[in-house]
């Protein structure tokens, strides 16, 4: 085996392994999101699709690792075709079914506010962390027959009226979650980029193995 073929084989195997790790991380992240936000419709479809594509990628890359180790031309070409199909599928999901973080924020605060109405304290976590008050503002409390809690004040000090947070938690949480859109895009396209490199190296390996096989036939 030539040095070039060895390099392609090792590079292809490393990229396959990296894709396998990324697939496992994708499955784990989507599964966690489904559990953490079990009542949210905003993430259900994107996360289910993410788990399905992640599982397909995971098993495909195992196949790719075997193909590279065995130096099988047919298996390598099959793997390259399957990876191309997965890439197109992921790109479709990225554009057609992104996570709606604004809707996720609204659903989260709505559920917390409903809990606040019946159990008290459900909103305190968000009010303290995001410096907000109520669902849409501090007036939500008196309008619902409740006292404005200390969590609506800076340092939870209700004695200073000017320390009252005036913005609702739905807007604050939506602004924080929207930042997640950027991180989601970066992670999604990073995975696609690694997959494209994997397909390129798999194709180059298959071509190199085919050329080596032809040369042996004419010796």
Residues 5-24: pLDDT tens digits? 788 888 999 999 999 999 99
Q: How confident is the model at residue 97, as a pLDDT?
A: 82
CA distance 194 to 185: 14
Mean pLDDT (whole number) for 191-199: 94
Distance CA 207, CA 38 (A): 47
The percentage of the chain sitting over the pLDDT mark of 90, rounded to a whole number, equals 58
pLDDT at residue 218 is higher than 70 = no
Q: pTM for this one?
A: 0.78
Q: In the predicted model, what is the mean pLDDT of the chain?
A: 89
- pLDDT surpassing 80 at residue 213: no
Q: What is the pLDDT of residue 1?
A: 52
CA distance 61 to 194: 12
Whole-number pLDDT of residue 178: 80
pLDDT in tens, 20-37: 999 999 999 999 989 988
Residue with the bigger pLDDT between 158 and 113: it is 113
Percent over 70 (pLDDT), the chain: 95
> What is the model's pLDDT at position 119?
74
Whole-number pLDDT of residue 2: 61
Model confidence pLDDT, tens digit, residues 185-194: 888 899 999 9
pLDDT band of residue 177 (cuts 50, 70, 90) is confident
């Amino acid at each position: 085996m030539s040095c070039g073929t060895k390099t392609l084989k090792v590079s292809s195997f490393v990229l396959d392994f990296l894709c396998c790790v990324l697939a496992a991380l994708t499955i784990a992240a989507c599964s966690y999101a489904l559990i953490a936000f079990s009542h949210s419709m905003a993430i259900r479809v994107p996360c289910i699709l993410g788990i399905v594509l992640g599982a397909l990628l995971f098993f495909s890359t195992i196949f790719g690792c075997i193909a590279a180790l065995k130096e099988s031309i047919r298996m390598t070409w099959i793997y390259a075709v399957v990876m191309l199909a997965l890439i197109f599928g992921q790109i479709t999901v990225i554009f057609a079914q992104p996570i709606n973080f604004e809707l996720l924020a609204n659903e989260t605060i709505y559920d917390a506010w409903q809990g606040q109405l019946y159990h008290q304290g459900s909103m305190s976590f968000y009010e303290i962390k995001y410096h907000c008050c109520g669902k849409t503002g501090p007036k939500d409390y008196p309008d619902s027959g409740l006292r404005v809690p200390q969590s609506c004040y800076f340092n939870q000090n209700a004695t200073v009226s000017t320390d009252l947070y005036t913005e609702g938690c739905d807007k604050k949480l939506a602004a924080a979650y929207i930042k997640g859109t950027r991180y989601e895009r970066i992670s999604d396209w990073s995975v696609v980029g690694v997959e494209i490199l994997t397909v390129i190296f798999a194709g180059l390996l298959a071509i190199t193995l085919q050329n080596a096989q032809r040369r042996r036939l004419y010796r």
